[in-house]
Amino acid sequence: ISKKCLCFIFRIEHPAGGYKKLFETCEELNEPISAVVVGVIPAWLSGSLLRLGPGMFEVGAEPFYHLFDGQALMHKFDLKNGHVTYHRKFIKTDAYVRAMTEKRVVITEFGTAAYPDPCKNIFSRFFTYFKGIEVTDNCLVNVYPVGEDFYACTETNYITKVDPDTLETVKRVDLCDYLSINGVTAHPHIESDGTVYNIGNCFGKNMSLAYNIVKIPSTQKDKSDPIAKSEVLVQLPSSERFKPSYVHSFGMTENYFVFVETPVKINLLKFLTAWSIWGTNYMDCFQSNETIGTWFHLATKDPAVYIEHKFRTSAFNLFHHINSYEDDGFIVVDLCTWKGHEFVYNYLYLANLRENWEEVKAAAMRAPQPEVRRYVLPMDVHRVTQGKNLISLQYTTATAVMRSDGTIWLEPEVLFSGPRQAFEFPQINYSKFSGKNYSYAYGLGLNHFIPDRICKLNVKTKETWVWQEQDSYPSEPIFVQTPNSVEEDDGVLLSIVVNPGADQRPGFLLILNARDLTEVARAEVEVIIPVTFHGMYKP
């Protein structure tokens, strides 16, 4: 069903609990399998949809506890001449290989602690503790290109080079070998020439924490590895000296970097001491600062310089930036926010997501509420009178007001809001409109955290469109532009959908017309496909 609507009033319920199948271990495939195509795939659509997510939710008798713990599984739908195949392989990370060898959880994951090997004697167990932190390389979040290569990633210092044709694991790269960084996000920005930008926390001056924006150059003429030429561009300060904020993505316009520092903090002391204590994981090291609110930071790109303006607003969680752009002396920043300072990831334990529908709904009632927001940051804030709205853009109700302490208080324009109905995992026509004034965002609709629809949002008019099908669970929609097209939304959306109750072919690649979310085609396979987070289309 595709419909145009002014809000997501049409709600599907999930009493059968089919969504639980998204969180079940599956087997990798030895070779690609053919899909049954319903409809007609556009002749020009020739390439691969690559996606990452967890595919193994326990090792032997030991379960993983959090949504972001399962071992990384890479998926690929290949489209060629109207035919489609599906393939998937586990990424052979250290975490995976050692877990398979020892048949237990060996490396601590996001919400699951690894314990010392019970077969070792007390002395060797004791020494295992004090070897320091073994950081996971379980790259289950995203995949992106660097030069001619492709890397699967999570949010640590490790990225894993993969072969996009065979899905074989090539090698692990430690970004700490090249950059002063503790980890980077799984959401880099990539320019048309292939230059990669990212952000991560680091140790700044006087051992205090800061954030580094880093750059990996495009393909080198001498064919050398671009990662070897990585550099830190600019350092942004942390609002709390020893507690950096959790950062999942950042914004980039043509001339600026935008970093939103939320009140969800990593307690570094806890993090560093935790590994000498049994049973501590990453989730245990997060804490929310209830008083600090949310800070916006800006830096110029070239030359890369931090801008000292102090932008402040009330507390929210942020995982995904939608887009940012400059307009007439202002920077417009569109975000998928969750209201308040409580960490949304507290609600993403697998036990919560596998509950029956009524329990899932009850948990989401307690959680922070989602809202798509537009913030506008004025660049010229010098000779200003206090208490006056500094935003003169005619098309937005967002405000920015200089306060007596020199901070600029931001209030957003709400672009979409529905109780417990999130517009998340946002995508745009990235190649043409990233960092530019744009109209359309596409997203995955979460119904009490359960993904059950694909949405389109006109950020200028707030119109929405929805694709939804009973007992079907889609993934983040990836936009692919029609060749030589002019209109921003002239293209298709690709999403992996699971209908666990289907008799024969429960998993399919869904192809929608990006204009109105009507179905173009689907390519069905005889396997269930577990949840995926992010990915890319490789032409």
Task: Write out the binding residues for Fe cation.
Answer: 187, 248, 320, 534
Task: Say if residues 311 and 290 touch (Cβ distance below 8 Å).
Answer: no
- The dihedral sign for the CA sequence 510, 515, 516, 520: negative
Which residue is listed with tokens 């035919």? 83
The rounded distance, in Å, linking the Cα atoms of 64 and 107 is 11
Burial degree of 180 (CB within 10 A; 0-12, 13-18, 19+): middle
Token pair, residue 365, equals: 């009632």
Residues 6+ apart with CB under 8 A from 129: 116, 275, 276
Cis bond before residue 303 (omega within 30° of 0): yes
The rounded distance, in Å, linking the Cα atoms of 470 and 521 is 17
Write out the E strands in 328-405.
330-339, 370-378, 399-402
Task: Say if residues 379 and 52 touch (Cβ distance below 8 Å).
Answer: no
The rounded distance, in Å, linking the Cα atoms of 87 and 161 is 18
| Residue 361: strand, helix, or coil | helix
The rounded distance, in Å, linking the Cα atoms of 13 and 447 is 9
| Phi, psi of 371, deg, nearest 5 | -160, 135
Bridge partners (DSSP) of residue 203 are 209
Nearest residue to 509 via CA among 462, 466, 460, 475? 475
Residues 6+ apart with CB under 8 A from 219: 147, 148, 194, 226
- For residue 98, how far is the Cα from the chain centroid? 26
Which residue is listed with tokens 């930008």? 197
Task: Say if residues 62 and 100 touch (Cβ distance below 8 Å).
Answer: no
The rounded distance, in Å, linking the Cα atoms of 57 and 465 is 34
Token pair, residue 390, equals: 């500094």
Residues 6+ apart with CB under 8 A from 394: none
Mark the binding-site residues, compressed into ranges: 187, 248, 320, 534
Bridge partners (DSSP) of residue 339 are 316
